[in-house]
Structure 1
Amino acid sequence: MTTAAHLAACPSAVERKTLMFSPNQRRVALAGLLVCAGAAVAAFQLQKPIAVRAAKLTETVPVRVFGLGTVEARVVSKVGFEVGAAIVELNADHGDLVKKGQVLARLNATQQRAKVARANAALQSAEVAVKKAEANLFKARAIMAQRLEVNRRKQELVSRQVNSTQTGEEAQRDVDVAVADVRVAESDIEVSKALLADAQSQLAYETAVLEQHTLLAPFDALVVDRQKELGSVIKAGDPIYTLLEQGSVWALAYIDESRAGAIRVGQPVEVRLRSLPGQVFQAKVVRIGIESDRVSEERRVYVKCERCPDSFHLGEQAEVLITVDTLKAARFLPEALVSGFDGSKGTIWTVEAGRLQRRKVQLGYRTEDARIELREALPPGVVAVTYAAGDLKEGSRAVVREDAK
């Protein structure tokens, strides 16, 4: 029904004046008049086309994925002693740069040095014992050689019946005893050598324990923290320093799984630190976590800066923008105007023959500013809506205007 028809259906002002109404009739008539006016306004609005903006082709569009993370380090170690004792020397503190092999701290090693001295004395004793056993073996062999020669002569005399048989038997017994003495001396040497090896091992062990009383830097590092002070009595394994390997600083970013599929190692990254919001640090993706967070459904992505800030703070919040692709030309739609997006397809608003319609199309990348790439080419005369000046209703009239507000 047109506006004129709606107005025609209502009584005119002259006719109302010529009629005499009771109060109740007047109220009913006024309500009817209001309903007629509302219907007329609604009909006028339905006939008025909605101004919309159409998706425009944009050239050289970087597709970036946003993530929040923190400044971390690939290698952070809490180092300490493998033995317990009192700390007598500390050579580094918070913020110091240390080189690999540099002495960081020492423990009281008086008792351990005494153990090393005792082990060294035991080693010397074992070496002397080996020499003594070797001398005994030499003596036993000389005696055996002598008795073998005596036995040979006596056996010749016995064979010629110059000596008695008993004399020959006694000479042979002396040879057997000499042979046994040689075997004993050889065994003594083996025992002495075993004791020597044990003494060497004991000395090596005590020396190694003594070396464990000195703490060395395992790599070129920055001292993040020192947990103990001079005079503290520590247990084995107590951390003394927290060390960060130089050159291992990176940012750990958490990326929504729905946006992380296009991330690859080597892609360029922009990093902004919370303490330096006005500066942008260029970086690259160096590692993508194999395991995602099962609760937040986020993927861990590690990025390393190419030009790092002069100072950094572990745990500081970092904003990360990863450029996953650069499109030569593309059209983008606001996510708010896309429904049913499953990662590849979704339903959008279009203007077709001057009317608003819903159309399922092929979609692509999602950007950090909540836009989705329109990947499918639309038929001639069909445009995708990116903004509407009013409520979108399927079938409503629409007109495309660049200045729609």
Structure 2
Amino acid sequence: MVPLLHRFVIGAALLCVVALLSSVLAGCSQLPDPKRDLIVAAAKVAFDVRTQPGVAAAWSEVGDAGRVTVHVRLQPEGELRAAATAAAALDAAPLPGAEEVTLAVAVPAAPGLAPVEISQARAHQDGMPFPAALEAADTLRRVAIAAEVGITSSALSLRLDDHTTAGPSPLTTAAAALRGVAGVPSPVTVEYRPRDSSRSVSVEVADDGPSAELLAALDELTVRPDVSRIVHHEQRGQDRPLLDVQTDDPEAVARLLTTVADDHPPRPRTAFSAHTATNAPPLNGYVGLPLAGADPPPPAAEAAPILASYEADLRAFLLRTAEAGTATCSVTDGRSVQCLAELPLWHEAGTTTEDVEACFAAITAAWRHAGLTSGERALGTEIWSRGPHVPGPAGVDVARIRGTTDGIRVSVESPTVR
């Protein structure tokens, strides 16, 4: 317990540091004023967070291109709600010129409590609400199998402890433990590295999947010397679960997966890709089906509600990230949805080039925070897509943006229904 006088002296000292930093930077001619203002504003946020109950330390970091990170270390046995207070302070703070703002929170381990690492983008709106994610993380850190709990943009992860990973079926054990705990949302990403190996395993566990048969197969794959990486994603933002296996022997892995019973309607069958670390073509298929076969497309009656859900997701995404209240949507080949929105910024009186550029940057920053990755450019169009191992926004597979004579055009496409 820090004496009250000591806390007052520390707080006064931190205020002096912020004031001194402001005055020093004000007289530094080599540092651009916008960056100076951003550094001072970020330091002020960190000081305000430091004074909150349960916070052991807080500091800020300003990198290139307006990237701001506010680091917070909580008391080991404190409540994670302090992180929500810090996030609210960061969301409300004026940070002029900031392009990316991230809250990084570390909670040390305590008896019976696993450590927690949090990386949350400011005003992130995809995934579960941040306070709900904190409540779930507080529950997960008390589960016996947890070595560490993580929150990244409201997505939950759990690293398995050594005792569980040394057992005969770590993933089966982890799924049973997580599904038996009340208050844990679905899914949770279970991560670990098998002992004495460089292999990495990342499997999303939901209430209804992976199935017991597929979990057993994954446990078998984790001990194979030819397998170097396993990544499994549930259905967030895609039409079916996806399994990616990096291996020196794709044929053997594919043969194993085609023999696994994974037919549990209404849950869609899991798609898989087995490949080497090189650029050789992968072996793609569906768990439990012959490799040469293909999962038939769903009848129109089954595809219709999926496509309707995708359209709602796409419209909500455009409204959330581009403030596009009106969009034109269409269905392609009965399998995917595309929505297009025009932002006629040049039709508004007083619009400047800087205004349009700022709007363009704000939209792409929101896409990045939502989990999309900037890829190629084609004829003036920026193309964004979900990362290979990162769940993106629900219903969005590809997003495009370009400047036009009217302003900005944005379009988004859903995954293909198979």
Give the TM-score range, shorter chain.
under 0.3
TM-score by length of 2: 0.18
Which of the pair is proportionally richer in strand?
A: 1
Could you say which structure has the greater relative contact order, defined with CA pairs below 8 angstroms and 6 or more residues apart? 1
